[in-house]
Structures are given as C-alpha cells and as structure tokens.
C-alpha cells in the first residue's frame, strides 16, 4: 500500500462545503483510505495576495493507486467542483495537491515530488505538522522549514473550528 499526503485549499463560495465534497469523493473512492486529517486552518492568501482568505487542510491517505493515477483523481475533483484556472495562484473553489507520495523524489513537471513549494508555505507546513512531524525534504524535517518562516508568515495561519 502506498502512503501519500495531500494538501487541499479553497477560497471561493461555500468553502467548508467544497472541502467536505472533496473529502467525501476521496473517501468514497474504492482505492483510497483517508488515514488522518489535519485541523482546519483559515489562512491569508499566499503568492497572489489580492484575494479572499483560504481554508486549508492536509490529509494522509493510503492508496493502491499509482502517483499519476492519484494526480488524475485530484484533477477530476478540481474539475467536478468547477475549479477555473485564470490567475496564477488565484482564487479557486478547490485545489488538491499531492505533497508527498511514499518517499518518491521526482522533478517531473507533471508531478513534482515532494511538492516543490511546501518549504515556503506555512499554510501547508502547519497542517502537515498535525499529521506527521517526521516528514523530510532534502534531509531536513518539515519543522526546520517552518522554523525558517517569519512569525508574521506563521501567524497568517489560524486554526478554526470547522467540521469536515
Ligand atoms: N505534486 C504535485 N501536485 C499537484 N500538481 C502538481 C504537482 N507537481 C506538479 N503538478 C502540476 O502542476 C500543475 C499546475 O497545478 P495547479 O494549477 O493546481 O497549480 P496551483 O495549485 O495553482 O499552484 P501550486 O502548484 O504552486 O500549488 C498541474 O497541471 C500538475 O500536473
Ligand atoms: N493561503 C493560501 N494561499 C494560497 C493557496 C492556498 O491553498 N492557501 N494556494 C495557492 C495555489 O496553490 C496560492 N496561494
């Protein structure tokens, strides 16, 4: 069985609803089991800042799918929930990224592993820390990268009480 970590984000419309639908679709897939789910965080937009706040979560899954098959499922969920690609890093109903897939390291443009921007993103590092503090990128634990971010960046990620 493969172990993977996914990052989900949404900042349009009924954000909890989109997260719930994405989780339900993943859980109902016969070849995916959600083994852990992080707390829910409300986060300031990163990268392209002129947009509404996001809700972000991460999850750990077990799956018999290959990494590319899993990527196809992530894209199918984005399509089902009407994600549109207009502005780079812009508003979206849902984004489902593969953060880690086993210990695979790949610089393939279609599927880069670990996801290339985890290290800079408090909105990913903080929920990942809920799941597994031992995750490693370039021989360093994710806590190292979180400690390198400024207090301001970390403070932009706030736990909220939302049930998914
Ligand atoms: N680990 C990965 N997880 C998801 N998509 C990936 C990954 N590595 C590469 N990609 C590719 O990145 C492309 C762009 O993805 P997407 O439009 O979701 O980017 P984004 O979420 O806006 O930005 P970012 O990639 O910085 O999170 C996808 O077509 C996908 O094939
Ligand atoms: N806070 C936050 N900012 C973002 C997010 C996101 O999920 N959360 N996703 C982006 C593109 O992947 C760009 N910026």
Show me where the domains of the chain are located. 2-160
Task: Identify the nearest ligand to the CA of 117 by its number.
Answer: 1
85 Cβ closer than 6 Å to some ligand 1 atom:
yes
To the question of pTM greater than 0.90 for the whole model, the response is yes
- Residue nearest to ligand 1 atom 9, measured at CA: 111
CA distance 54 to 121: 13
pLDDT in tens, 117-148: 999 999 999 999 999 999 999 999 999 999 99
Q: Is 97 tagged catalytic?
A: yes
Q: Is 83 tagged catalytic?
A: yes
Coil/strand/helix, residue 57:
strand
Q: Which of 66, 106, 115 to mutate to test the pocket of ligand 1 (most atoms within 8 A of CB)?
A: 115
pLDDT in tens, 28-67: 999 999 999 999 999 999 999 999 999 999 999 999 999 9
CATH topology of domain 2-160: Alpha-Beta Plaits (3.30.70)
């Amino acid at each position: 069985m493969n172990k993977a970590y996914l990052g989900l984000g949404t900042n349009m419309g009924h954000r909890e609803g989109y997260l719930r639908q994405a989780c339900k679709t993943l859980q109902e897939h016969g070849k995916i089991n959600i083994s852990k789910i992080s707390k829910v965080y409300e986060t300031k937009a990163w990268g392209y800042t002129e947009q509404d706040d996001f809700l972000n979560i991460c999850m750990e899954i077990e799956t018999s799918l290959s990494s590319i098959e899993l990527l196809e499922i992530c894209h199918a969920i984005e399509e089902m929930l009407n994600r549109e690609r207009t502005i780079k890093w812009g508003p979206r109903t849902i984004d489902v990224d593969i953060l880690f897939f086993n210990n695979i390291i790949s610089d393939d443009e279609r599927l880069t592993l670990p996801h290339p921007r985890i290290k800079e993103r408090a909105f990913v590092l903080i929920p990942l820390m809920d799941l597994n503090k031992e995750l490693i990128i370039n021989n360093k634990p994710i806590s190292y990268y979180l400690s390198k971010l400024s207090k301001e960046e970390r403070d932009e990620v706030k736990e909220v009480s939302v049930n998914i």
